[in-house]
Structure 1
Amino acid sequence: MHLIQVERLDELCERKFKPLWLIWVGLEMPELSQIWRQYLRRFVIDHWYRFIKQRLHWTLPECH
């Protein structure tokens, strides 16, 4: 298991950003750019599940 801390280093921006913590579980750790791409794909999946639950009413109990 690898624990990765991602921090934004932007001296021009006055806003403080909290660090992002990622965990990689596997035999070999891929390159950080590949891990970041996989993390960004997570948002697509999250929005798909939200659509399924809200629009298709998958949260409602099934009545027979």
Structure 2
Amino acid sequence: MPSQLIRKPVSSGQLNLLQQVFDETCSEHHIDKSSPDAEALALILVNSLQKGADEKEKLAALAETLAKAR
């Protein structure tokens, strides 16, 4: 049986955290929230949180790296 990565559902508190990191990153790096870059950022942040990166500092560092790499 193939192993599967189980992703945890996102709680309302985690959703608020994601929104805060996303908004701050978009603002700091002048990313249009309706752009493909913003969509990719949001998807990666959610995926990372579901895999266990649930601290603001970790998510913010990831978002910073992604924003600089675009």
Structure with more contact order per residue of length (Cα contacts < 8 Å, sep ≥ 6): 2
TM-score, normalised to structure 2, is 0.34
**Looking at CA atoms only, which structure, 1 or 2, has the larger radius of gyration?**
1
Between Structure 1 and Structure 2, the one with more helix by share is 2
TM-score, normalised to structure 1, is 0.36
